[in-house]
Chains A and B, each alone.
Chain A
Amino acid sequence: MPDSAMPYNLVEPVTFVCPPALAPGDRIVLGHGGGGRLSAELLRDIFLPLFSNPILDRLDDQAVLEIGGCRLAFTTDSFVVNPLFFPGGDIGSLAVHGTMNDLAMGGAQPLFLSAAFILEEGFSIETLRDVTRSMARAAREAGVSIVTGDTKVVEKGKGDGLFINTAGIGIVPQDVRLSANQAQPGDRVLLSGSLGDHGIAIMAGREGLEFETEIVSDSAPLHDLVQAMLSASTQIRCLRDPTRGGLASSLNEIAAQSRVSIRIEESALVIRDEVKGACELLGLDPLYVANEGKLVAIVAPEAADQVLRAMRLHPRGVDASIIGTIHEGRAGLVSMKTVFGSTRIVDLLAGDQLPRIC
């Protein structure tokens, strides 16, 4: 029974006139920090054009600099995590591990870190002591020294408690050349362990979730694992630690930089039950949840098995698996074969992944 009050006539052919798109905003939104498309746009539109140089343009997690015959890896990072303390770590240990891992992804032996603190007026000194103690312990256990730093204080209301900025340097052996632009068709994709532990550990506190077996952040230094892998093979093309934006973002970055496509298998991914449960509850996709103690490696096909073996022998790689392959063509496309055998695309999200209720 046609309703005469129909908003428009569907029988006649419609010319596709879509309303104009929202003009891009002129302000930074939270999504710009999410590690997804918005972050990439900031890089592409502001930082890269203005800072451009061959080293920066490679967009690796670290810059490898040739200085006086020595190859120095150099990186910087900022830590704004909230809550400051979470199961498995705190902003301090995260800062140390995160910076070291950026260096390790370049094949570097991390040596020295800097630590700059931006403190909000009113922040508890006891808490600062706790964070510092944690950083000192993390650095000691990992064999690095914090050799320089800075402290600033901002007025109450302008700082969210505590921000930490770090820089790190390390030495990269002459024969180690890792970069996100080196993936080649046929290469295999290796993942060192379970996905989503860190992001869910952080969310748990915020969302009032508790766990039977507590989900603990996987925040950990990976340089030792990397050394074990580099000792096993010289045919590792690239390493990445899938932090903000998760595994999906790292794979998209590699696919874009190397101008290849990547296909992974859902059945090869390791995800803890509690992480799966929390993701189900909040409507999150584990592929986009942050990790702080895992790495992705792109390895030549003939070396994949021996690298995998070396990883599995290491305490930080016991759950390592080969999760996919690099393909030619469709540059930048990351797809996943589902447990059903069908294919879905693993795209970059615009900003942060938002919990959904639908």
Chain B
Amino acid sequence: MKYVDEYREPRVAQAIAGRISRQVTRPWVLMEVCGGQTHTLMRYGIDELLPPAVELVHGPGCPVCVTPLEMVDRAIRIASTPGVIFVSYGDMLRVPGSYADLFQARAKGADVRVAYSPLDALKMARANPERQVVFFGVGFETTAPANAMAVWQAKREGLRNFSMLVSHVLVPPAMRLILSSPGNRVQGFIAPGHVCTVMGFSEYEDLVNEFRVPMVVGGFEPVDLLEAISMLVDQLEQGRAEMENQYVRSVNYVGNVPAQVILREVFEVSDRKWRGIGSIAESGYRLREAYAAFDAERIFGTADVSAEEPAECISALVLQGLRKPLDCPAFGTRCTPMNPLGAPMVSTEGACAAYYQYRRHA
């Protein structure tokens, strides 16, 4: 596959890993933010290629993982309403809420369906005018434009039976939280490549300038991540703290303007709860007033569904990179993908699940 295979070339990966080994003179702690990047690191065993001085910790970049309990509870409540077709991305179906997950809701009779794209949900709404179609709009900024466009198209067409349960989260506020935490050990960040494809990277440049920490926008293939790591190590070794872009084939400073336009049109920034962390101010999206008719929370009145996030859970520490999954005493024993105790074990992109899937005995 063009633009993919060449970034999986083992010889190239080894060459860059070799270069990193030669660059490094002391230990550095780096974080990759995006769950898709964590997945690649685990799946290809990139940490085995890196010198021990480079430590990778995994950030909260898994929107499935960080979807709060109460949002899943609301999803289940809506899905269980007679007449509703509840449509979701596949990963969300196994995320546990307070008492159940969407798969179990389906087993009890809810019409829960998986879609590859929010446009599929629109199709279902058009094909089933007598049913209420609700789409579970989860994701970071990468996915938000698609979800926004679905709502925008629905309004344009005057669809009366389509709505979205919005649970979008934004990356920069989470990174700000990590950087502000007194226990923060992370010295350099690999910024999320596809989020930046949409949003550009000016927000990350602001963080670089404020916290004096180097950041490199990284892609998702092994060579991308190794190249980004090499660029970070270079900066750290030279005492620089700058914003750089490794993922030049997909990312530029400004980002995707039409996508940003639709985001601003349909969504506004709001506070959001993050599973295992709690509420972070201005860290998510909600539908604007003009699109209230498509807001599933309003239509189905789910404001009364709330859940207490557990007070202390290592999830939060893992999500902030302060602990590794293997550090947790429950990892692999009481807490497994089959019986997840916390967010990072829930989704295949979560750090704990990735460790469990690929590196358990490492």
Contact = CB atoms under 8 A, between A and B. Distances in A.
Interface string A1-28: 1110111101100111111111011011
A93 B49 CA distance: 47
B246 interface: no
B350 to A, nearest CB: 10
Interface in B198-219: none
A338 B44 contact: yes
Contacts of A345: 357-361
Interface stretch (A69-77, A222-230, A276-284, A306-314): A276-284
Contacts of A125: none
Nearest to B36: A358
Contacts of A17: 310-313
Nearest to B356: A347
Nearest to B89: A357
B260 interface: no
B62 A8 contact: no
Nearest to A38: B338
A5 B334 CA distance: 32
A175 interface: no
Interface stretch (A60-68, A96-104, A113-121, A348-356): A348-356
A10 B100 contact: no
A51 interface: no
Contact of A18 (B100, B313, B337, B361): B313
A343 interface: yes
Contacts of B106: 29-30
Contacts of A3: 177, 180
A358 B101 contact: no
B316 A357 contact: no
B104 A27 contact: yes
Given A7-B279, A15-B312, A340 B91 contact: no
A344 interface: yes
Interface string B318-355: 00101000001110001101111110000111000000
B248 interface: no
Contacts of A344: 42-45, 357-359
B114 interface: yes
Contacts of B322: 10
B91 A339 contact: no
A333 B360 CA distance: 10
Given A11-B182, A344-B45, A356-B348, A16 B314 contact: yes
B342 A18 contact: yes
Contacts of B181: 2, 6, 10
Given A22-B99, A343-B45, A354 B90 contact: yes
Nearest to B211: A1
B357 A342 contact: no
Interface string B153-181: 00000000000000000000000010011
A354 B49 contact: no
B334 to A, nearest CB: 7
Contact of B10 (A24, A207, A277, A340): A340
Given A7-B277, A14-B312, A357-B91, A21 B101 contact: no
B108 interface: yes
B64 to A, nearest CB: 6
A58 B208 CA distance: 60
Given A330-B361, A356-B349, A16 B49 contact: no
A157 to B, nearest CB: 12
Contacts of B330: 16, 18
A207 B116 contact: yes
Contacts of B34: 358
Interface in A179-218: 207
A196 B43 CA distance: 19
Contact of B94 (A343, A354, A357): A354
B104 A21 contact: no
A19 B311 CA distance: 9
Interface-central residue, A1, A18, A21, A22, by most chain B CB under 10 Å: A18
B187 interface: no
A350 B314 contact: no
B283 to A, nearest CB: 12
B60 interface: no
B145 interface: no
Nearest to B9: A339
A49 interface: no
Nearest to B109: A27
Interface in B122-170: 139, 143
Given A18-B310, A19-B310, A21-B340, 12 more contacts: A6-B180, A7-B279, A14-B317, A280-B1, A333-B361, A338-B43, A339-B10, A340-B10, A341-B10, A347-B360, A358-B91, A358-B348
19 contacts: A17-B313, A20-B341, A21-B341, A25-B104, A29-B103, A29-B104, A37-B338, A339-B8, A343-B45, A343-B48, A344-B358, A345-B358, A347-B357, A354-B94, A356-B348, A356-B349, A357-B89, A358-B63, A358-B349
The 6 closest A-B pairs by CB, nearest first: A342-B45, A7-B278, A354-B90, A19-B310, A27-B107, A344-B358
Interface of A: 1-3, 5-8, 10-11, 14-22, 24-25, 27-31, 37-38, 207, 273, 276-277, 280, 282, 330, 333, 335, 338-345, 347, 349-351, 354-358
Interface of B: 1, 4, 8, 10, 13-14, 34-36, 39, 42-46, 48-49, 62-64, 89-91, 93-94, 96, 99-101, 103-104, 106-108, 114, 116, 139, 143, 177, 180-183, 222, 277-279, 281, 310-317, 320, 322, 328-330, 334-335, 337-342, 347-349, 356-362
